[in-house]
Structure 1
Amino acid sequence: MTTTTAPPPVTPGRLGTQTIPLPTGPEAPSHARRAAVAFLHRIWPSLDPGRRDDVLLIVSELVTNAVRYAPGPSTLTLTTAAGTLDIAVTDCSCAPPAPRAPDLTDGTGGMGLHIAEDLGARVFTEPLADGKCVHAAFNDA
């Protein structure tokens, strides 16, 4: 996957990481968004509100994909370091996400990875022995 738009500069105020275990049901995306708001408020309080909303949308989309396509637990890890913000969602499915044409009529999705890229994230999948980790990374370089 490639980013088609240039991301705005990302300059977090402090270095930090937080891993949040997520519930397995439909409440996982809202739980993840609340955790992300707290993390960003603590680590990066000067983040533009519009950009914060972009981050929360990407968190929701990645976590929703994990809940929908991976049976079992997932985690959200947020990391800021040296001008980067990495949103990482780990789940127990080894199948990598497959971008597909968005379904605008039946409501079956297909927009999450496209949304992340359109908002300036570099999306990539890290295979793990017991699943995968999907990253959406922002870099100011």
Structure 2
Amino acid sequence: MDHSDRGAHLELASGPEAPRQGREFTRLWLALHHPKPPPATIDDIILVTSELVTNAVRHGGERITLRLHQQEAGCRVEVHDSGTNTLGPTPGCCTDDAENGRGLAIVSELSILGQSRNGGGTTAWADLTW
């Protein structure tokens, strides 16, 4: 775990505990954040973190890096995984009766979502404002 004035990052092992660890780390970072986001926005940021880390666990490699960046009017949640898989599902691609596949659709409703691939894995980010 590393903190700076404007951001922080956490290395996670891919597995069932990673989303919870990401949520706890994000909650701690937000508690130290000035100015503090409104309570509803805090909930959105934690949900976005959980969905992006879960997506990395399901579709990525063994290592995940969670980065949180303070921006002028909000923050960026960024998740990098070391996997060689293609990017996760396109937001909004699941059927009404599907049991999963809504994570990126939720993230895209709450934030501005971006994704990229490079030789070292996949990065997904979400920009949230308050």
TM-score by length of 1: 0.79
Name stretches of at least 5 consecutive residues in structure 1 with no aligned partner: 1-14
- Where does 1:54-65 land on structure 2 (aligned, <5 Å)? 54-65=44-55
Does 2:88 correspond to 1:97? yes
How many angstroms does 1:43 deviate by?
1.4
Identity %: 27
Cα deviation, residue 34, structure 1:
0.3
Residues of 2 paired with 1:87 and 1:17: CA distance? 10
Q: How many residues align?
A: 124
Measure, in 2, the Cα distance between the counterparts of 1:46 and 1:73.
30
Answer yes or no: is 1:85 the counterpart of 2:85.
no
Note the aligned Cα RMSD (angstroms): 1.8
CA shift, 1:126, in A, is: 2.5
Structure number with higher relative contact order (C-alpha < 8 Å, ≥ 6 residues apart): 1
Q: Does the C-alpha gap of structure 1 residues 54 and 23 become closer, same or farther in structure 2, counting only changes over 3 Å?
A: same
The alignment status of 1:52 with 2:42, answered yes or no, reads yes
Deviation, 1:67, is 0.4
Trace 1:1-141 onto structure 2 (pairs within 5 A).
Answer: 16-44=6-34, 46-94=36-84, 95-99=86-90, 101-107=93-99, 109-119=100-110, 121-139=111-129
Give the counterpart letter for 2:61 in structure 1: P
Q: Which amino acid aligns with 1:60?
A: S
| 2:45–2:128 CA contact under 8 A, matched in 1 | no
Runs of 4+ in 1 over 3 A off after TM superposition: 103-106
1:45 positional shift = 5.5
Please say which of residues 89-98 and 46-55 is displaced more in the overlay. Answer: 89-98
